[in-house]
Amino acid sequence: MHISEGILSVPILISGGLVTTLGTYIGLKKIDPEQIMPVALLSSAFFVAGLVHVPLGPGSVHLMLIGLLGVMLGWAAFPAILVALFLQTLFFQFGGIAVLGVNTAIMALPALCCHYLTRPWIENPKTRPAAAFIAGFLAILLASFITSCALALTDTGFTAAAQLIIAANIPIMIIEGCITMFTVGFLAKVQPEILYPEYA
């Protein structure tokens, strides 16, 4: 969900930049030495996932894994997404440098929301699969909403933009729900330590 350069107004670009700066600052503060490698791993996964296009629905959509990043990283999702987005801009011309702040906020805020909303249920083995699916699904839905808001605040009508973006991203919501569910389930089996609250 990358907004291209030349669409958003300057106040939105600045607000996005401020949110991202704040989030990244808190995220970096919260990363402790044991977490550095998982953060880098998930950042790499996000970086590469953006290249996997899903040829379903009306628009041009790709995987983002933001639900997974949110569940696993919490605030650290901000620096992880920022770095990956910067490299995507540099290597693949996704989005742009000026919209980097907004694009990071669009994807990191839903990640953070999903972290706080679903984390308690993820830690419980019974509710884990459902909670992980919801995290993956909800993250994309929230990101679609925030993107629509950003576009609506500039010029396009909110309803029109939201309909377009959500319709295009429905396949992604379902796919990411499944990916998050299986990945979290897999990690809970092979690496249960990383699902404990102290980790986040």
Binding site for another protein (CB under 8 A): 1-7, 28, 31-34, 36-41, 43-45, 47-53, 55, 58-60, 62, 83-84, 87-88, 90-94, 147, 150-151, 156, 160-161, 164-165, 168, 190-191, 193-194, 196, 198-199
CB of 126 to another protein, least distance (A): 23
Smallest gap from Cβ 46 to another protein, in A, equals 9
Please identify, using beta-carbon distances, which residue of 21 and 35 lies nearer to another protein.
35
Map the chain to HEC letters: CCCCCCCCCHHHHHHHHHHHHHHHHHHHHHCCHHHHHHHHHHHHHHHHHCCCEECCCCCCEECCCHHHHHHHHHHHHHHHHHHHHHHHHHHHCCCCCCCHHHHHHHHHHHHHHHHHHHHHHHHCCCCHHHHHHHHHHHHHHHHHHHHHHHHHHHCCCHHHHHHHHHHHHHHHHHHHHHHHHHHHHHHHHHCHHHHCHHHC
Residue 21 or 44: the one with the smaller Cβ distance to another protein is 44
- Considering the complex, state which of residue 14 and residue 48 has its C-beta at the smaller distance from another protein: 48
Rounded to a whole number of angstroms, the minimum distance from the CB of residue 199 to another protein is: 5
CB of 102 or CB of 117, closer to another protein: 102
- Nearest distance, CB of residue 79 and another protein, angstroms: 9
If the CB atoms of residues 28 and 130 are measured against another protein, the closer one turns out to be 28
Task: Report in angstroms how near the CB of residue 189 gets to another protein at its nearest.
Answer: 12
Q: Which is nearer to another protein, 22 or 41 (CB)?
A: 41
| Cβ proximity of 172 and 64 under 8 Å | yes
Please state the closest distance from residue 95 (CB atom) to another protein, in A: 9
8 Å CB contact between 17 and 24: no
- Map tokens 């742009």 to a residue: 96
